[in-house]
Amino acid sequence: MATTNSRFQRRYPAEMRERAVRMVRKAIAESGERMGVVTRVARQLGIGPESLRNWVKQAEIDSGKRPGVTTAEHQRITELEREVRELRRANEILKAASAFFAAELDPRLPRKS
């Protein structure tokens, strides 16, 4: 079972998440009711009901049944944010190098030695 402390959040394998979501969908289809299904399935699998509720919600988004950012879109956004950070860092390094070489090459500017 996942702990309540966010520093020690447990990561469940994708197969387990998919199986749990399928179990919820099957239980809803069989009973025709949504009330209490997530909690019951979560208890059976020994996972937190809120985790399972989030997985079901994300599965609905990924399948187009609910609006929101899909898993693939979220991964792409994360990649792009990482790339932006790297490019900004490279840009700062290039600015500093450019200023250094400009000062070295321009005799009118005071040299820092």
Ordered by start, the domain boundaries in the chain are 1-68, 75-113
Tell me the per-residue pLDDT of 35-59, one tens digit each, with 9 for 90 and over: 899 999 999 999 999 999 999 999 9
Question: Within a 10 A sphere around the Cβ of 40, how many other Cβ atoms?
Answer: 15
User: pLDDT class for 112, splitting at 50, 70, 90?
Assistant: low
Give Cβ neighbours of residue 55 (< 8 Å, ≥ 6 apart): 17, 20, 21
- Is the domain spanning 1-68 CATH 3.30.70.920? The answer is no
Distance CA 15, CA 104 (A): 59
Q: Name which of 91, 73, 71, 94 is nearest 83 in CA terms.
A: 91
Q: What is the value of pTM for the model shown? A: 0.66
Tell me the per-residue pLDDT of 54-101, one tens digit each, with 9 for 90 and over: 999 999 999 999 999 999 999 999 999 999 999 999 999 999 999 888
Residue 43 CA to chain centroid, in angstroms?
Answer: 25
Q: Name which of 92, 91, 16, 1 is nearest 48 in CA terms.
A: 1
